[in-house]
Structure 1
Amino acid sequence: MSKKNRIVTVTMNPAIDLACTVSDFTAGKVNRVESYQTDAAGKGVNIAVLLRKFGLPVTVTGFLGQDNAGIFEKMFREQGLEDWFVRVPGETRIGIKVLDPRTETTTDINFPGLAPDMGHVEELTAAIEKLAAEASIVVIGGSLPATVGPETVGELVTVIREQGAKPVVDTSGPALRSAVDSVPWLIKPNDDELAELVGRPLKTISEIARESWRMNRSGIANVVISLGARGALFVNDEEELFATPPEIEPVSTVGAGDAMIGGLVAGTALGLSFRERVRLATALSAATVAQAAPSLENLDRARKLEDRVTIETISL
């Protein structure tokens, strides 16, 4: 396939997600697990799996623990993902998600991550530089290992852009700030993360929209602000749109943001209009919230939700 269709996702701190369903979960007491499932996950990995549902060619890279890489390697083979992960000594972390259907809450218990050294970072940077030269979009998703400085994200954004690909970033904190300073093509903070970026509280949709518009005019082509169940704000060079998802029975928010990024990236690769990308991304995110797994098994549920997504233009 041509360069225009090749997509790369970067996951520097992947995880093996163990999702458990526990009704009336209570700290300090014995809790009975009603059901569970284990998935190879991480933002970039989840996004890559979704992109394959659209038939797009995807390469995955980042850091992977060599001692328990099997669950990832098996999934990469099954999904048809090209594996360029840099292997690092040790085990990829485990993330336990306790889903309580009665309180509709998710409790995260995250284990420590890998410890890549400077040599591993240089190896990953070289891989991304090579891959970006043959890709249209490169997505950097998720948190960073403790040994990797936040400036790494900004440096990678620059490398990707210099190779002619579109850098997409979904992270938070200093890593997001580093990315913004290097002007990626798309970012997707939530409202709290945007407030942290601009250094002041943002209490209304209008305030959030104005700050998003300013970031867009500073050179970031697409600014997406997630507002959870309320929906999301989408700003590009032509429009400011607010999308409200349909009402659904929530199960887990794990992977919802990844689905939104995946929808925007897939829509771009498939040549959809901005409004069509917004509708697709919102429906995919809502469909993911309605299940326990971080990735959709297929696109059927999301397709059924698309017509129920409400989109309105925001006036600044």
Structure 2
Amino acid sequence: MEKWFDLHMHSSYSADGEFTPENLMKKCAAAGLKAVALADHNSTRGVLYAKQAAVELGLAYFPAIEIDCIHEKHNFHLLGYGIHADAVIFRKIERDVHEQEIAASDKLIELVRKMGFYFSEELVRAKAKNGVVVAEMLAEVILNDPHNNENSLLLPLRPGGARSDNPFVNFFWDFCSQGKAAYVPMRYISLAEAVYAVQKNGGVAVLAHPGANIGQNREIIESVIKAGVDGIEVYSNYHDEKTKRFYAKICIEHKKIATSGSDFHGKTKPSIYLGELEHPYAHRVYGQLVQKIKERGGEMVGCLQI
């Protein structure tokens, strides 16, 4: 098992990311990583800064993005590796999602308040980036507000609770994700459109952490594969061993690339660390990604001897 390979992390260009792209690359190097990808939410604005830092640090680096999309009424995240980050489509995706997020912020605050949680809206707004409020910001303020100390809904997120490992993002999954009480619908592009955008612009399209979105649903994942994805993020902090085996088998059956990504954000996900995630055959997957990016005329910097 190898730990030098991490293709899913977020910088301060994501609303819930903590570190600048440059500092993130320094942390990658310090953690012993050798091949990395910055994949911010619906944005490639941090790609160039991370690329420059990666070159200086001797890291192999894939320009990347994580695109919110929808398929068969399910929300998914699609990772794109080796993309031409300055392509017009990625700027359009960021603009469209950001406009919706601004509008959704007020609704999110309203729905979370209706659940009975106390918080200072002023404190929440102060944490917002470019006017966007996300569930993780609300969670941080709510969990630190003594008015919520007796709220039983929050007990699993408190120290020692079953969901206390990453309390802020687990607040999102438990209360604000699709199907939950404080979910605010968004109009995302389809999975097929996201796959096309990535592949047309030199990239490799990989479905992120499907276990977190659909569990082990073979029918839906088979449909996702028909939409043209090149791979699945099998080795994820959101997947237990059974889920990893399930998606690893799917990749073997359909000859898809089985990637690895921590989904590191910083303080939003405090129990997730760079360089901690193991991949059983990282060198092989690295080679598969490099080959497919070359075939599509995509971009990457640095090269490992494999």
TM-score, normalised on structure 2?
A: 0.33
Point out which structure has higher relative CO (alpha carbons under 8 A, 6+ apart): 2
TM-score, scaled to structure 1: 0.32
More strand by share: 1
- Comparing both structures, which one devotes a greater share of its residues to helix? 2
